[in-house]
């Protein structure tokens, strides 16, 4: 999804002036990309209509940067679509706060219950997990294993009692032992059926949880929307947890689930490990989908002046973090063709001004830098960490500069390397957030 949209926006950006027709055709592409990503049809229609309305006839197309403005509007509307702000769990003023997890079989309730407990524990809460899935073989054992790994207590009464009674007893247990959060793990079915719903309703009536949270598998696309709709109308949800966003999902669920139910996505599951749960930030996901910061124009600029093969090479170095002084020199030389380094870095998201200042290199300095690096031995270039006091003196002498200049260069190099690490991390983060095709 992300890639498709980015292409569309690239086209928009390339234009100095936009006509109504440009916007219409861009919106058609956005529409297709969203539909292909399994976003609900009605959601897509409303979305593109809103963006078009805000764009056409509001002075946007006549502005100096129409392409950017349209992208900004799309970004805002995407964020809006996913709920605008991050929604937290509301803790009861009279503990324990009771959180009931519901959802279909295999959605990730048991795993997510553990993950959630783990996060709340880190926040200083004392959660207890309550095993109310008395149907699935080994479901209780599974929860116990999860609890053990996280060092969180698990309350269970075997599989002979009714889930309603286990839930009630679990809350009593929490009160007695000072657990301020109760997470109820319930049973799921393969499909929504009346028996399941009735059982969940019974638990709801008897224990009145503070939060009923639907756990839903993002990989199921449109089905996720239907499931969310059904659970919400039967039980009334406080929030949604979208799991498996790490897999090869089409991401459409994240966009439509909230739009269709009006209920916030509070967390996303991004892996099988018990730490793979993240609070859901609509603005971050929107930016991710559109391409963060101004990465697009950065890439365009870089591609224009970097030679293709070197760029690939550099990319690999960034990925493996095997970046040495020789590459640094190489890169600086390439940068000469691209204009001031700071103007390039400015476009990167997450760059602060201080970092920029430290990294700025002017032409005159570049001559010195080249001289310094050329005065190093091959080994020193490959492994700058070995450049200590006496080596620094030798290099300064050999290059006709000063030890200070050598120090400065090494510092710049370290900073660049750090920045590259950040970039690589960002790239990983993008992938981790779900592969939006």
Using CB under 6 A as the criterion, which residues of the chain lie in contact with ligand GDP when the complex forms? 103, 105-112, 188, 215, 243-244, 246-247, 269-272, 276
Reduced to 3 states (helix: H, G, I; strand: E, B; else coil), residue 185 is strand
By beta-carbon proximity to ligand GDP, the closer residue of 25 and 142 is 142
Query: Which residues are annotated binding-site positions?
Result: 103-110, 185-189, 243-246
Q: Are 265 and 254 in contact (CB under 8 A)?
A: yes
Structure tokens at 211: 């939060």
Of all residues in the shown chain, the one whose CB is closest to ligand GDP is 269
- Round to whole Å and give the CA distance between 75 and 55: 13
By beta-carbon proximity to Mg ion, the closer residue of 138 and 386 is 138
Q: Are 112 and 269 in contact (CB under 8 A)?
A: yes
| Binding partner at 105 among Mg ion, ligand GDP, none, C-beta below 5 to 8 Å by kind | ligand GDP
Q: How far is the CB of 211 from Mg ion (least distance, A)?
A: 18
Q: How far is the CB of 244 from ligand GDP (least distance, A)?
A: 4
What are the start-end ranges of the E strands in 60-209?
97-102, 127-131, 154-155, 181-185
Q: How far is the CB of 361 from ligand GDP (least distance, A)?
A: 43
- Round to whole Å and give the CA distance between 370 and 328: 10
Quick one: CA torsion of 59, 65, 69, 72, rounded to 10 degrees? -160
**Scanning the structure block, which residue is given the tokens 């690589």?**
424
| Binding partner at 243 among ligand GDP, Mg ion, none, C-beta below 5 to 8 Å by kind | ligand GDP
Q: How far is the CB of 276 from ligand GDP (least distance, A)?
A: 6
Site mask for Mg ion (CB under 5 A), range 98-117, x = bound: -----------xx-------
Of all residues in the shown chain, the one whose CB is closest to Mg ion is 110
- The residues near 29 (Cβ < 8 Å, ≥ 6 apart) are 4, 7, 8
Q: How far is the CB of 185 from ligand GDP (least distance, A)?
A: 7
By beta-carbon proximity to Mg ion, the closer residue of 109 and 210 is 109
Structure tokens at 121: 């524990």
| Binding partner at 106 among ligand GDP, Mg ion, none, C-beta below 5 to 8 Å by kind | ligand GDP
By beta-carbon proximity to ligand GDP, the closer residue of 66 and 434 is 434
Structure tokens at 213: 């949270």
Chain CA centroid to CA 301, Å: 26
Q: How far is the CB of 111 from Mg ion (least distance, A)?
A: 8
By beta-carbon proximity to Mg ion, the closer residue of 2 and 112 is 112
Query: Which residues are annotated binding-site positions for GTP?
Result: 103-110, 185-189, 243-246
Going by the DSSP 8-state scheme, the letter that residue 268 receives in this structure is: E
Reduced to 3 states (helix: H, G, I; strand: E, B; else coil), residue 202 is helix
Site residues (vs Mg ion, CB under 5 A): 109-110
């Amino acid at each position: 999804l992300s890639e498709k949209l980015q292409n569309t926006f690239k086209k928009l950006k390339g234009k100095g002036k936009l006509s109504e027709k440009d916007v219409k055709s861009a919106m058609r592409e956005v529409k297709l990309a969203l539909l292909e990503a399994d976003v609900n049809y009605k959601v897509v229609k409303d979305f593109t209509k809103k963006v078009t309305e805000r764009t056409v006839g509001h002075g946007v197309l006549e502005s100096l940067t129409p392409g950017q403005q349209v992208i900004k509007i799309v970004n805002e509307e995407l964020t809006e679509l996913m709920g605008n702000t991050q929604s937290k769990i509301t803790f009861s003023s009279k503990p324990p706060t009771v959180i009931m997890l519901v959802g279909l079989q295999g959605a990730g309730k048991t795993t997510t219950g553990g993950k959630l407990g783990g996060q709340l524990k880190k926040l200083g809460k004392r959660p207890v997990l309550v095993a109310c899935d008395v149907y699935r073989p080994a479901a209780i054992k599974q929860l116990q294993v999860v609890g053990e790994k996280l060092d969180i207590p698990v309350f269970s009464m075997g599989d002979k009692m009714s889930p309603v009674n286990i839930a009630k007893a679990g809350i009593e247990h929490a009160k007695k032992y000072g657990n301020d959060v109760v997470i109820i793990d319930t049973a799921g079915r393969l499909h929504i059926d009346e028996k399941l719903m009735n059982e969940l309703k019974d638990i709801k009536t008897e224990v009145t949880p503070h939060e009923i949270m639907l756990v839903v598998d993002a990989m199921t696309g449109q089905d996720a929307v239907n499931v969310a709709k059904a659970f919400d109308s039967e039980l009334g949800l406080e929030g949604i947890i979208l799991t498996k966003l790490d897999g090869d999902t089409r991401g459409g669920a994240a966009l439509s689930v909230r739009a269709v139910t009006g209920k916030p996505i509070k967390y996303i599951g991004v892996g099988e490990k018990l730490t793979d749960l993240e609070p859901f930030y609509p603005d971050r996901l929107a930016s991710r989908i559109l391409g963060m910061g101004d990465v697009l124009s950065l890439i365009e600029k870089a591609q224009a002046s970097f030679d293709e093969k070197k760029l690939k090479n550099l990319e690999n170095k960034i990925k493996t973090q095997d970046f040495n002084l020789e590459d640094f020199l190489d890169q600086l030389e390439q940068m000469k063709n691209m204009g001031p380094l700071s103007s390039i870095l400015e476009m990167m998201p997450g760059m602060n001004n201080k970092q920029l200042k430290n990294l700025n290199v002017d032409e005159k300095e570049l001559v010195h830098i080249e001289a310094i690096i050329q005065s190093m031995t091959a080994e020193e270039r490959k492994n700058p960490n070995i450049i200590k006091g006496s080596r620094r003196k030798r290099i300064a002498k050999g290059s006709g500069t000063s030890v200070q200049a050598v120090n400065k260069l090494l510092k710049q190099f370290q900073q660049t390397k750090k920045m590259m690490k950040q970039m690589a991390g960002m790239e990983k983060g993008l992938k981790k957030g779900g592969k939006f095709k």
